[in-house]
Amino acid sequence: MEITVQCCKQSKNDPFDDNDSENGTFLPGLPDDLAQRCLSSLSLSPSLLFSVCHSWRRLLYSPSFPPFFSLYALLSPLHNPTMALPREVVPQSTIVFFSFDPISSSWRSLPSPPQNPSFHLLRRHPSFLSRNLPIQSLTVSNQLIVIAATTQNLFPSLSSPLVFHPESNIWFYGPQISAPRWWCAAGSAQGVVYMASGFGSHYQGDVARSLEQWDLNKKRENWVWENKAGFKDGRFSREAVEAVGCRGKLCMVNVKGNALKEGAVYNVGLDKWEDMPVGMVAGWNGPAASMDEDEIYVIDEVKGRLSKYDGEKDCWVKVIELEQLKRAEHIAAGRGKICAVSAKGERIIVVDVRDKPTRFWEVEPPCGLEVVAVHVLPRMISRQH
């Protein structure tokens, strides 16, 4: 299979550089509001609009223009960074949030999350020298949600999910969690967040067997966690678990990597647990994600093989195998691309699974930081522009 390799380097060019002297209208001879409607309706790639002129560039980033999608990342300072961290990366927690603009190839920090109540999202602790603590996040309805993490005192960080809405550029909290957790099985389907099993400040059997849902399709004032059909035992409470939503079902395995594992499938419509197909659980050997809740992809973290699940044949079909995908720790899927965190967070590999031949390229994280997780979401609306 022929592979085209592209490497994305972090650009130092600000798309709104004040030295750019172009200040023309969007389309000569048309009022700006009409020109905006014309340009917004065209099937032009954002990168093409970005490259034409400065006025089109400003339109591309304006709140009135349909947002293109960007890469969002949860990042943690390196153990021994070789470079001084930017001033904005001196947080009260050990996790910071950035967005990578694929058009200008530049990273931008997200606004600081609310500190009332104050919280910490701890990545490492002296008591667990050989292990990184899980920080669980997901995307639902074009929003970033952080649902479980650990404090410096080894208590659950979040009593309510922390939510970032890119198009309004604000953070807020979701509904109160009945039993906050260090980790859990977390995922989403059809605009609903699911939290299953898990471990809080101490083990609780009823929590380890529980399943709750939070429906973001409802009005915000009606947001609550609702109990659903629970597990028969606590086998999914051992570590952080990705619950992958696909075609009205949540699919998950209870152990990461190539270890012997058990799988479970939750049928959203029937509120019922089912056995995972034998072929699905056999090939689930690394991080997984769904593309538009229609196809499940997994990376074999030992072989560096990206595969797609074929439900009719109950098998995994190889998409591509790359050295760069070995030791993949987390993946996200969206807009036809798989974004993988690899090499202990030192790089992000993007694979375009809809291109023939398959293309992949690398995105470098901000200097002095390592990647914990990535997500695909609409770009932030910058109020200053």
SS3 of residue 339 by DSSP: strand
Query: Residue 190 class from Cβ within 10 Å (0-12 exposed, 13-18 middle, 19+ buried)?
Result: middle
The number of folded domains in the chain is 1
**197 lies in which domain range?**
89-378
pLDDT tens digits, 293-342: 999 999 999 999 999 999 999 999 999 999 999 999 999 999 999 999 98
Residue 166 counted as domain residue: yes
Confidence of residue 29 (pLDDT cuts 50, 70, 90): low
What local confidence, expressed as pLDDT, does residue 256 receive?
85
pLDDT tens digits, 204-228: 999 999 999 999 999 999 999 999 9
Q: What is the mean pLDDT of residues 251-256?
A: 93
Asked which of 80-94, 146-160, 360-374 is least confident by mean pLDDT, the reply is 80-94
Peptide bond into 156 cis (omega under 30): no
Q: Could you tell me which residues come within 8 angstroms of residue 173 by beta carbon, excluding any fewer than 6 positions away?
A: 114, 160, 161, 162, 163
Q: Cα Rg for the chain, rounded, in angstroms?
A: 21
Q: Are 149 and 122 in contact (CB under 8 A)?
A: yes
Residue 24 counted as domain residue: no
**What does the buried/exposed string (b/e) look like for 115-125 if buried means 16 or more CB atoms within 10 Å of the residue's CB?**
eeeebbbbbeb
Residue 359 counted as domain residue: yes
Residue 65 counted as domain residue: no
SS3 of residue 60 by DSSP: helix
pLDDT of 104 above 60: yes
- Please give the structure tokens belonging to residue 317: 């079909």
CA dihedral over 124, 128, 130, 136, signed as positive or negative:
negative
CATH classification at residue 94:
2.120.10.80
Residue 52 counted as domain residue: no
pLDDT tens digits, 49-77: 666 777 777 777 777 777 889 999 999 98
What local confidence, expressed as pLDDT, does residue 287 receive?
96
pLDDT of 2 above 70: no
What local confidence, expressed as pLDDT, does residue 131 receive?
77
pLDDT tens digits, 150-203: 888 888 999 999 999 998 999 999 999 999 999 999 999 999 999 999 998 888
What local confidence, expressed as pLDDT, does residue 382 receive?
65
Residue 169 counted as domain residue: yes
Residue 39 counted as domain residue: no
pLDDT of 5 above 90: no
Confidence of residue 250 (pLDDT cuts 50, 70, 90): very high
- pLDDT averaged over every residue in the chain: 85
**What does the buried/exposed string (b/e) look like for 5-42 if buried means 16 or more CB atoms within 10 Å of the residue's CB?**
eeeeeeeeeebeeeeeeeeeebeeeeeeeebbeebeee
Residue 161 counted as domain residue: yes
